[in-house]
Copies of this chain bind each other. A is one copy, B any other.
Amino acid sequence: MSPRTPKGQTRERIYRFVRGRLLEGLPPTVREVRDAFNFHAVETAREHLEQLVREGRLAKKKGKARGYGLPTGFKGDPVTIAIPLLGRVQAGELTTAVEDIEGYVPVQSRGTGDLFALTVRGESMTGAGIMPGDIAIVRHQPIANTGDIVVALVGDEATVKRLRIKKNAIELHPENPDFEPIVPDTNELVILGKVIEIRRYIEIPKV
Contacts and interface: CB of A to CB of B under 8 A. Distances in A.
A7 B139 CA distance: 33
Contacts of A22: 25
16 contacts: A17-B101, A20-B84, A23-B104, A23-B106, A26-B27, A108-B207, A109-B204, A110-B204, A129-B131, A196-B202, A197-B200, A197-B201, A198-B199, A198-B200, A199-B199, A199-B200
A38 B66 CA distance: 24
A113 to B, nearest CB: 11
Interface of A: 13-14, 16-17, 19-20, 22-27, 29, 36-38, 61, 65-66, 69-70, 72, 78, 80-82, 84, 97-99, 101-110, 126, 129-131, 134, 139, 149, 194-204, 207
Contacts of A84: 20
